[in-house]
Every structure is written in C-alpha cells, then in structure tokens.
C-alpha cells in the first residue's frame, strides 16, 4: 500500500469494480479503496449502478486507512453547499425565534413583578 494517502484528503479516482455493497475505486496504479453503498450519495442508494459506472472518474474523500490490512475506506458524500447554506439560515432563523420568545417571556415576567410591587 502506498503511504502517500492520508485520512481526510480528497483525491480523484477511477471506479474499477461495482458490487452490491459498494464500488471499488483505484486511487493510483497500486492503491484501491472501497466506497461503501452508504457512502455513495447523500440520499438512499438502492443500487450502486444508478450512481456510478465502471470507468467513471470520481472525487472521493479518504475516511480511514487500516494499517494492518491496507484497506482504505472512501466516501463520495461531500458536503452539499446548498444544504449547508440552508442549515445555517434555518439555525439563524431558529435563533431569532428563540430570542423573540425569550424577550416576550421576559417582558411578561417584568410586568407581573411590577404589578406585585405596586400593590
């Protein structure tokens, strides 16, 4: 196994074989890794052949390298920038909603306290 690959790096490879459980990708002439079916796409994958074909050039991220066996686990699931932006916007709006609710409750409590002390 080549030592030039490190966990977390994104490399380009070629799909060399497709099995029901995933796709084997050649990273160079001597090194291959497996993209498990759960790591093919961000959605449910029923058939690997619907997403990749033998000979396809694909970008993969190295998830892990087993130093004893030399097996390399890969993923094709990269962060979708549109999804990340949606999540960030949703988190911001969620924070705004929480702040509004907090301010509303705070004002109600202050009114209650001021009424108690004025009696």
Task: For the domain covering 10-75, report its CATH number.
Answer: 2.40.50.140
Pairing label, strands 72-75, 32-36: parallel
Contact criterion met (CB below 8 Å) for 11 and 5 = yes
Q: Any idea where the domains of the chain sit in the sequence?
A: 10-75, 80-119
Which 8-state DSSP code applies to residue 119? -
Considering Cα of 98, then 101, then 107, then 111, what sign does the dihedral take? negative
Short-list 37, 4, 3, CA closest to 23: 37
Mean pLDDT by groups of 10 residues along the chain of 119 residues? 78 95 94 94 91 94 91 85 62 79 92 84
Contact criterion met (CB below 8 Å) for 26 and 14 = yes
């Amino acid at each position: 196994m080549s030592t030039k690959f490190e966990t977390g790096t994104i490399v380009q490879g070629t799909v060399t074989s497709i099995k029901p459980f995933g796709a084997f990708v050649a990273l160079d002439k001597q090194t291959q890794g497996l993209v498990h079916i759960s790591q093919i796409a961000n959605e449910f994958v029923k058939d690997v052949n619907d997403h990749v074909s033998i000979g396809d050039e694909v970008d993969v991220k190295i998830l892990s390298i087993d130093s004893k066996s030399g097996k390399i686990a890969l993923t094709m699931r990269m962060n979708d920038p549109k999804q990340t932006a949606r999540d960030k916007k949703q988190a911001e709006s969620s924070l705004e909603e929480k702040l509004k609710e907090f301010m509303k409750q705070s004002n109600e409590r202050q009114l209650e306290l001021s009424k108690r002390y004025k009696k």
